């Protein structure tokens, strides 16, 4: 799947979340994206190594399988594979 441009990710996130904020965490190299989901009316937050990754995580977009994530690690353990 082709990755979306950063501006497209921002536009999609703004359409799903009110009060969307994307900022670098103080004293860290990580980014945080957060906002109030328009349908569920709950606060959502996600972090990432880059602004793009934080937005992708907030939107629940699939990432590269080569990237480490706890979900991939659990899936591999359940399927009997280890890295």
User: Could you report the per-residue pLDDT of 18-31, keeping only the tens digit for each?
Assistant: 999 999 999 999 99
Q: Nearest 5°: CA angle at 23, between 21 and 28?
A: 145
**Is pLDDT larger for residue 50 or for residue 67?**
50
Task: Please report the pLDDT score of residue 2 as a whole number.
Answer: 78
What is the mean predicted confidence (pLDDT) over 55-82? 67
Cut 0.85: pTM above it: no
Rounded CA separation 67/71 (Å): 11
- The count of residues in the chain is 83
Q: Distance from CA of residue 59 to its chain's centroid?
A: 6
Domains and CATH numbers, the chain: 6-78 (3.30.160)
């Amino acid at each position: 799947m082709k990755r979306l441009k950063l501006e497209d990710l921002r536009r999609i996130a703004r359409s799903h979340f009110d009060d969307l904020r994307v900022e670098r965490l103080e004293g860290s190299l990580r980014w945080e994206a957060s906002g109030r989901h328009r349908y569920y009316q709950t606060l959502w937050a996600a972090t990432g190594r880059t602004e793009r990754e934080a937005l992708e995580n907030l939107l629940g977009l699939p990432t590269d399988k080569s990237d480490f994530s706890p979900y991939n690690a659990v899936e591999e353990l359940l399927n009997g594979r280890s890295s």
